[in-house]
């Protein structure tokens, strides 16, 4: 079976050597030495000052929204994983969907201002597939209207824009370290901010909002364990190697696929890609489903990602129309991609797709 992804597992003995440290000191969680070491390593790798290592890529979005002064409307993208919308609803805010750019598949910054009302509190945009949102335009709009910018950077780890980590943009940028991601801690996530006060608050918030006997505000359990941090410490030094191996797979797909009948996002100028995903958009949903069937019959499992367009979620009564997202969502799949995917498998997948277009 060739799945859309395969979790990278580091050297077993190295992981066990970290476990040995945990067994020796008896500290399993609550901001232990490995979690602190990973946090430091992540800050160095990303070149950011403030970062909090947390339980997953969803809780960190909730924590960012929790820092808003009051709930309200959140301008967001319809083309993302459902978590991006769920957190808005979970935090009793109202998602306001703004369509995506037909080239980058990230939120269309030119449509944002028209969606701002006096109830708008923040812009929550996703760096889709590790592509960069229009960070400069979004920052200008946010400054003008006094809005907070939160980037869902679940896909953005290892991607740089204009020589800075993509995660360094915005008031907050979150990341997922789920086992399906190019850098993972089994389950995990992080939140980056540019503000020391927010960083302090986020560290406190992920630990129930209290320090010892001093209780400051409503917090949550957003922290992560030493076992998860150990996985991160094993994987972090391998990130550039993993990205290079993924690039080779992506380059081969790009060379082999029939672009007369397929479309892909345009990666923005100034982006140093992380090769986190390999999305392809078919001419029609019927064509995509037919090709997916053929791949499935050959034990190859691409993933519909993202589908549906989030403004069409059945539990929402969203009235916004997002024609670009609604057109791409039913036609897109992500092809199998991981650092260890044999190139002969890539050739076979590309041939099967081309034969059935
Ligand atoms: C865009 C996006 N946001 C948020 C998440 C949630 O991350 P996690 O699974 O770590 O909670 C994901 C997960 O894949 C995602 O793709």
In this prediction, residue 318 carries a pLDDT of 86
Q: How far apart are CA 14 and CA 6, in angstroms?
A: 20
* DSSP conformational letter for 133: P
| pLDDT band with cut points at 50, 70 and 90 for residue 114 | very high
206 lies in the same domain as 310: no
Ligand 1 centre from 354 Cα, in Å?
A: 31
- State how many domains the chain has: 2
Burial status of residue 259 (CB atoms within 10 A of its CB: 0-12, 13-18, 19 or more): exposed
178 lies in the same domain as 258: no
332 lies in the same domain as 192: no
Q: How far apart are CA 93 and CA 179, in angstroms?
A: 29
Burial status of residue 161 (CB atoms within 10 A of its CB: 0-12, 13-18, 19 or more): buried
325 lies in the same domain as 342: yes
340 lies in the same domain as 214: no
pTM above 0.75, yes or no: yes
Q: Is 108's C-beta closer than 6 angstroms to any atom of ligand 1?
A: no
Burial status of residue 122 (CB atoms within 10 A of its CB: 0-12, 13-18, 19 or more): buried
The H-assigned helical ranges of the chain are: 12-25, 33-46, 59-66, 82-90, 135-145, 196-205, 226-235, 239-256, 285-297, 323-328, 343-355
Specify the CATH number for the domain of residue 266. Answer: 3.90.1150.10
Written as one string, the DSSP assignment of 3-58 is ES-------HHHHHHHHHHHHHH---SSS-HHHHHHHHHHHHHHT-SEEEEES-TT
283 lies in the same domain as 338: yes
Ligand 1 centre from 180 Cα, in Å?
A: 10
307 lies in the same domain as 195: no
Strand-strand pairing, 73-76 and 120-126? parallel
Give the mutation target among 86, 172, 176 for probing the ligand 1 site: most ligand atoms within 8 A of CB.
176
178 lies in the same domain as 291: no
Q: Is 282's C-beta closer than 6 angstroms to any atom of ligand 1?
A: no
Specify the CATH number for the domain of residue 108. Answer: 3.40.640.10
Q: Which residues pair with 52 in a beta bridge?
A: 191
Nearest CA to ligand 1 atom 7: 57
Q: Of 236, 259, 292, which marks where a domain is finished?
A: 236
Q: How far apart are CA 287 and CA 305, in angstroms?
A: 16
29 lies in the same domain as 115: yes
- Collapsed DSSP state (helix, strand, coil) of residue 111: helix
246 lies in the same domain as 220: no
131 lies in the same domain as 277: no
- Collapsed DSSP state (helix, strand, coil) of residue 328: helix
Ligand 1 centre from 241 Cα, in Å?
A: 23
Ligand 1 centre from 83 Cα, in Å?
A: 6
Cis peptide bond prior to 308, omega within 30° of 0: yes
184 lies in the same domain as 327: no
In terms of residue numbers, what domain contains 318? 238-355
Q: Which of 276, 261, 273, 280 is nearest to 349 (CA)?
A: 280
Nearest ligand 1 atom to alpha carbon 189: 10
- Whether 306 shows a pLDDT value over 90: the answer reads yes
Ligand 1 centre from 305 Cα, in Å?
A: 11
Tell me the per-residue pLDDT of 35-55, one tens digit each, with 9 for 90 and over: 999 999 999 999 999 999 999
In this prediction, residue 277 carries a pLDDT of 98
| pLDDT band with cut points at 50, 70 and 90 for residue 69 | confident
Tell me the per-residue pLDDT of 314-344, one tens digit each, with 9 for 90 and over: 999 889 999 999 999 999 999 999 999 999 9
């Amino acid at each position: 079976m060739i799945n859309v992804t395969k979790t990278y597992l580091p050297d077993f003995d190295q992981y066990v050597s970290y476990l040995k440290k945990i067994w020796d000191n008896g500290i399993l969680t609550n901001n232990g030495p490995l979690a602190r070491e990973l946090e430091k390593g992540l800050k160095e790798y990303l070149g950011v000052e403030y970062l909090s290592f947390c339980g997953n890529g969803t809780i960190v979005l909730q924590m960012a929204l929790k820092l808003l002064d009051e709930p309200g409307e959140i301008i967001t993208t319809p083309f993302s994983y459902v978590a991006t919308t769920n957190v808005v609803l979970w935090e009793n805010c109202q998602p306001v969907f703004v369509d995506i750019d037909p080239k980058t598949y990230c939120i269309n910054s030119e449509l944002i201002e028209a969606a701002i009302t006096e109830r708008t509190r923040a812009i929550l945009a996703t760096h889709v597939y590790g592509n960069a949102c229009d960070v400069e335009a979004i920052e200008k709009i946010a400054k003008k209207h006094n809005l907070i910018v939160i980037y869902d950077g679940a896909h953005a780890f290892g991607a740089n824009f204009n020589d800075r980590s993509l995660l360094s943009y915005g008031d907050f940028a979150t990341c997922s370290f789920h086992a399906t991601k190019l850098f993972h801690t089994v389950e995990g996530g992080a939140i980056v901010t540019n503000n020391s006060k927010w960083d302090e608050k986020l560290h406190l918030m992920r630990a129930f909002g209290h320090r010892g006997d001093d209780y400051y505000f409503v917090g949550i359990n957003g922290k992560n364990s030493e076992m998860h941090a150990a996985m991160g410490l094993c994987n972090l030094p391998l990130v550039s190697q993993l990205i290079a191996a993924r690039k080779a797979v992506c380059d081969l797909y790009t060379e082999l696929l029939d672009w007369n009948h397929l479309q892909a996002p345009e990666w923005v100028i100034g982006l140093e890609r992380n090769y986190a995903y390999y999305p392809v958009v078919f001419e029609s949903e019927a064509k995509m489903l037919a090709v997916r069937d053929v791949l499935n019959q050959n034990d190859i499992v691409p993933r519909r990602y993202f589908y549906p367009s989030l403004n069409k979620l059945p539990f929402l009564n969203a009235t916004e129309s997002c024609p670009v997202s609604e057109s791409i969502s039913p036609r897109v799949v992500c092809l199998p991609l991981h650092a260890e995917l044999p190139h002969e498998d890539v050739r076979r997948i590309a041939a099967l797709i081309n034969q059935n277009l």
